[in-house]
Amino acid sequence: MIVVDTNIIAYLYLEGQHSKQAEKILERDPLWAAPLLWRSEFRNVLALYLRKKIINYRNALDIIEQAETLMEDNEYSVTSSKVLELVKQSNCSAYDCEFICLAQQLDIPLVTEDKKILTGFPRHAISLTTFCK
Confidence (pTM): 0.95
* CATH class (in words) of the domain with range 2-132: alpha beta
The pLDDT value given to residue 133: 82
Distance (Å, whole) CA 57 – CA 50: 7
User: Any idea what DSSP says for residue 121?
Assistant: -
The pLDDT value given to residue 67: 98
Cβ contact 125:110 at 8 Å: yes
Annotated domain spans of the chain:
2-132
Per-residue pLDDT tens listing for the chain (133 residues): 999 999 999 999 999 999 999 999 999 999 999 999 999 999 999 999 999 999 999 999 999 999 999 999 999 999 999 999 999 999 999 999 999 999 999 999 999 999 999 999 999 999 999 998 8
* Sign of the alpha-carbon dihedral angle for 40, 45, 49, 55: negative
Distance (Å, whole) CA 89 – CA 37: 21
The pLDDT value given to residue 60: 98
Long-range contacts of 50-54 (CB under 8 A, 24+ apart): 54/14
- How open is the CA angle 114-24-62, to the nearest 5 degrees? 80
Cβ contact 100:117 at 8 Å: yes
Cβ contact 22:128 at 8 Å: yes
